[in-house]
Amino acid sequence: MDTCRPVPPSHSRAGVAAGFRAARESAGLSPRELASALGTSTAAILALESDDNELFAAYSLTEVRLIAAELGTSPAALLKCPQAEASIQLAELISLIRIQLMNNPEQFRAFESELGRRISALLESPRTLVDDLTVDALQRVCAFSEVDCCRLVVGLEEEQ
């Protein structure tokens, strides 16, 4: 049984790379300048501009937030999140994850095994969910908890 729910179709990644490039150009930065500002390589920036999945697969939400700040945009805009009906705070997501863990411990352990991470261990320090997990992994955690990850992205923006 596949316990990892797929990312909802409303989270289309088509055009994320082009949107990233447009945001960089709008900020008036070259790939090299952005790479220098972020402490990464020009190749990493070019990968973000050429692969719609790169931002999701290689970066945490915290890193996406730092990149968005450097570009003068929001993480929701970079990730092409549709307008969320209502945001959710990290504490609310943690509560939902704990409920899933208590109500379905075997299914939760299977999910952790598929994900390759012990989410239950991350609950002791909730910020690690957004600091350590890639956006892909965080989306899977949100989906498992029946939460639209974009609601969390918006919620984190509201916290600032």
Task: Identify the CA nearest to 153 among candidates 103, 84, 92, 98.
Answer: 84
Cα separation, 29 vs 71, whole angstroms: 8
Q: Which of 34, 56, 78 is the last residue of a domain?
A: 78
Task: Identify the CA nearest to 46 among candidates 60, 65, 31.
Answer: 31
Instruction: Find the domain containing 22 and state its range.
Output: 16-78
Q: Are 94 and 155 members of one domain? A: yes
Q: Are 70 and 127 members of one domain? A: no
Q: What value does the CA radius of gyration of the chain take, rounded to a whole number of Å?
A: 16
For the ranges 8-22, 123-137, 139-153, which has the lowest average pLDDT?
8-22
Q: Are 116 and 147 members of one domain? A: yes
**Residue 4 falls inside a structural domain:** no
Q: Are 104 and 130 members of one domain? A: yes
Q: What mean pLDDT, rounded, does the chain reach? A: 87
- Owner of token pair 């299977």: 110
Query: DSSP label at 30?
Result: -
**Residue 5 falls inside a structural domain:** no
At 158 the pLDDT is 82
Instruction: Name the domain count of the chain.
Output: 2
**Residue 9 falls inside a structural domain:** no
| Top-confidence residue, 116 or 65 | 65
Model's pTM, two decimal places?
0.86
- Owner of token pair 């209502």: 86
Q: Are 124 and 66 members of one domain? A: no
Residue pLDDT, tens place only, 103-129: 988 988 898 898 888 888 888 888 888
CB 29 within 8 A of CB 37: yes
